[in-house]
Structure 1
């Protein structure tokens, strides 16, 4: 069945709409909007702008189509995608805060962007995250209350694929029901772990108190995980916003496997950017093509490639680009600065659960069992591969107030925002917390070291370069020790898994964190918003490039601060509002 479907899907672009892989095939029309990047934000914009029949929209995406790709469809195969054609395959610079380790930095490369390859966790963050956006940009329409229509507009909450009773697992009042992105709760529950997680929340309360729905704007506590999936399949920006019906719109054109190398300044007076330079070739000597938008170029290449393209276009710090032989076109020193990322680390405890109810068993270990699970998914879109894995609950918590003082301010957006996250899952023998600092104080950069746009960006997330992040990470590990010391775990807990030890010192934990942490792949901030009259920042609150016209930036790079959340939900929210900002600017809203 799947090979037959795959053949149909491969042929689909010829019948579903205007999908191109070479610019020579593009129609001879004037494009009102050219969207650079068909990722999470770009897909939203492509959909919403082509709702206006008179808008001709071109999307240029560096990667391939998502249609019919098995690993992108099956939630359980999320870990198969790294180092594939759907990953930019980036690495970082040596990380000072990680003992100079170079770490991988996966980003989506293809339609849907990182929403096609990520872990699918759906978390919006806290209301104060968005209120801080509004406060820092002096624009109240970026506040949590003002964004509520867009919070619901993008989402369609969907029952879990196993059909279990979801009472007391989420709050339907805070979810959308008619949006393009399917969200859902865990399926194939593991009662031997779930029961202990919920009992711990009840026994300890405080930092770990049960939270009916972490996506209400107040995420603190222990709650059920939610994910961007539905009916047994991943729900990405591509599957949701670029469906067959959307691709069939005559005013939408998608150019795949094509790299935008620069955005060019228009000739004449003023500073306008409405022309893109691109190539379908694979290197710096490849022939370049240019196209000009009648209204706007919208740069939605993500927090890594957006500054990369800007800098190669001569938009950035004048001295930096000039030293590389790039003509400085617009001096904006904030381009590529303020990279903010969540450091991630895993903490494991040994268990001895005799009443094991783990529904996955050997699915990801024994090839025979894996093949059986694939056959079941092919037949029913059900079974263990229809869900993202063993993670059923997440804890969001804050460190003690005594952590901060006049010289060490709280980096979170407010008292209802988490400092750290613990995604806790387990088997009969192990309890694993995928932990992250979600209100980090450290900052990094995205930069370039040549004038060749095919050279990879220099990604320096600066993980643990601010000692406060280490302090908060140590506290999160000690909080996990308190969590597993609850009566609920007394009969099954053995102790921490080596190299972790009981009662670790600060020095031990610092070494542990620096030697084992990675990036949680939630980069933001490299083209940040600021007030319209501010001398810092890259875009104004309407997302137009400062000191210029014709170019708008819409993706997670515009965030002044990273939300205390996995970032895909916030990108949907921000992009939905941004689409209305663009429509209003051109008198069609």
Structure 2
């Protein structure tokens, strides 16, 4: 396995000592007015903070509701990423409303409540999606600046490859020509690659699935460098940047709403933030002289907008919130990737279960990581992804329009893992070990929402991903599960897998549908809740320059502006959108 480290080099990680510009109390700030105020020190917000403070004449404040990422071991150790959520101090600990198409189940819905946001708690996959995804964005919003080719400089600006922690030869594992340059292999890796040779028609090997042509099976690229996680906090707020005199970050600042700054003719000017130093504290206000930038994520951003009176005026009036701007698309259009875990018992003890159930092994691995940033813990939880289109001989698209962005875009992702990674392990597995292929629907037609039902700005929002409410989604998931079974039936696995899959008793469409509805969960890739649309369009929340429609002084920069979820994990898309957004903001000032 090899590792991708977002933007900055390892030296910045190791030297992470001084944190002077990050404070925990309002009284430690130099003032209550800045050129730019950014709400949310997450994946996108920290990019904006870094790029805007390259100009020494711009003062920037970032408001972060969560805690510091310093010395949070589970965030530093790549293999410990499943331990960060749910029900921890580093998670907002949201849950969904009952999902009608998932047998009424309520799902945990993690979001990062820590400096770095979800980039500090995610599973670190760096997948761009397909070129089709970005070209579709450009077409939808009538702005070629969001196309695949036009965004290439921003991908290169964001990413920097570093050697893997085990220094193995990465030749044949990625294509250096499509990346910017300014682990330890697991026992299943050989079998995964062998499968691509045995079943090349359905599962071809792809040298670099981040080239824009994603289809096939390839090596995972991850935001890991020097054996530990790279997040927006450790990179864009690394010590070379966080100590800039024109940059300040305030932790524990939970935003209630944004307010009109001054009376204006026409669209209201909203550049003032109202927040508390922790829930229950006194309300404070801070104003941006130039722009207020909302980067609270696909859940937090619409939540703040709605509490500020920016949304559907009828719905806001009904619950007692005075409308400021009628913008019905706020909180609507939520799309996310549902997934199902498929697992097989194997005859190996060299799987994740050994690390997670054997305290002696776990202690030794952690000691090795602490001393040298090497060993099994330098990896995430999967070394390979597969990007699969539904086979042409199925009838799905005889009945439904193909929801993918184009012919080179996958409908299904496999996340291929050397065992169960979440702790605690299920109590019913004894000493069994597993091979896991999680199947995700990458092109969901279902749409959900983020709404509120209270005037209390700190009441949790109502999260409804509305998973599998569209018939094409569950049909694609069925085919994904069947495809995963074919993958595991390759000769490469014959002497390794010892039992049928966990879903093997379900063969008919009806039986598979019940498995899916009773077990599907989320990959936690929400987008679209403050979606971008063309200038002048009477739908959407932001224009192609990411300015909020109907107001002055407010921009949104985070995953919520993506109109449709890309066919990939959303971290890379969020970084690259933020990089371009920073240039758009700079051009305005």
What is residue 8 of structure 2 aligned with on the other side? none
Change (3 A) 1:444 1:585: same
What is residue 253 of structure 1 aligned with on the other side? 248
C-alpha contact (below 8 Å) 2:32/2:287 kept by paired residues: no
What is residue 482 of structure 1 aligned with on the other side? 486
Instruction: Give TM-score, length-normalised by structure 2.
Output: 0.92
C-alpha contact (below 8 Å) 1:474/1:510 kept by paired residues: yes
What is residue 161 of structure 1 aligned with on the other side? 165
- Give the CA deviation at 1:205: 1.2
Change (3 A) 1:336 1:406: farther
SS at match of 2:526: coil
In the alignment, structure 1 segments of 5+ residues that lack a partner are 1-8, 179-186
What is residue 525 of structure 2 aligned with on the other side? 522
C-alpha contact (below 8 Å) 2:35/2:291 kept by paired residues: yes
**Distance between the aligned counterparts of 2:386 and 2:449, measured in 1?**
29
Change (3 A) 1:572 1:373: same
What is residue 371 of structure 2 aligned with on the other side? 379
SS at match of 1:322: helix
Tell me which of 79, 82, 107 is aligned to 2:82: 79
What is residue 278 of structure 1 aligned with on the other side? 275
SS at match of 1:253: strand
Counterparts in 2 of 1:174-573, with a 5 A limit? 174-178=178-182, 187-191=183-187, 193-268=188-263, 269-270=265-266, 271-283=268-280, 286-352=281-347, 358=350, 362-389=354-381, 391-401=382-392, 402-405=394-397, 408-426=400-418, 429-498=433-502, 500-501=503-504, 504-573=507-576
C-alpha contact (below 8 Å) 1:335/1:538 kept by paired residues: yes
- Give the CA deviation at 1:16: 3.8
**Distance between the aligned counterparts of 1:28 and 1:494, measured in 2?**
65
- RMSD between superposed Cα atoms in Å: 1.8
Instruction: Give TM-score, length-normalised by structure 1.
Output: 0.92
Change (3 A) 1:12 1:229: closer
Equivalent pairs counted in the alignment come to 560
SS at match of 1:411: coil
**Distance between the aligned counterparts of 1:158 and 1:415, measured in 2?**
32
Change (3 A) 1:383 1:547: same
- Give the CA deviation at 1:406: 7.4
C-alpha contact (below 8 Å) 2:294/2:301 kept by paired residues: yes
**Distance between the aligned counterparts of 1:24 and 1:197, measured in 2?**
55
Q: CA deviation digits over 1:165-214, x for unaligned, max 9? A: 11111111111112xxxxxxxx22134x2222111111211231000011
**Distance between the aligned counterparts of 2:588 and 2:362, measured in 1?**
52
SS at match of 2:127: coil
Q: CA deviation digits over 1:424-463, x for unaligned, max 9? A: 2236943211221111111100000101011001100001
Change (3 A) 1:581 1:249: same
**Distance between the aligned counterparts of 1:136 and 1:360, measured in 2?**
43
In the alignment, structure 2 segments of 5+ residues that lack a partner are 1-12, 420-431
C-alpha contact (below 8 Å) 1:188/1:359 kept by paired residues: no
C-alpha contact (below 8 Å) 1:17/1:250 kept by paired residues: no
**Distance between the aligned counterparts of 2:308 and 2:33, measured in 1?**
23
- Give the CA deviation at 1:68: 2.0
C-alpha contact (below 8 Å) 1:43/1:111 kept by paired residues: no
What is residue 105 of structure 1 aligned with on the other side? 109
C-alpha contact (below 8 Å) 2:533/2:542 kept by paired residues: yes
**Distance between the aligned counterparts of 2:22 and 2:196, measured in 1?**
50
- Give the CA deviation at 1:403: 4.0
Q: CA deviation digits over 1:128-171, x for unaligned, max 9? A: 10001100000000000000000110111111111111111111
**Distance between the aligned counterparts of 2:130 and 2:28, measured in 1?**
45
C-alpha contact (below 8 Å) 2:269/2:551 kept by paired residues: yes
**Distance between the aligned counterparts of 2:128 and 2:70, measured in 1?**
27
What is residue 127 of structure 2 aligned with on the other side? 123
What is residue 34 of structure 2 aligned with on the other side? 31
**Distance between the aligned counterparts of 1:63 and 1:190, measured in 2?**
34
C-alpha contact (below 8 Å) 1:40/1:113 kept by paired residues: yes
SS at match of 2:149: helix
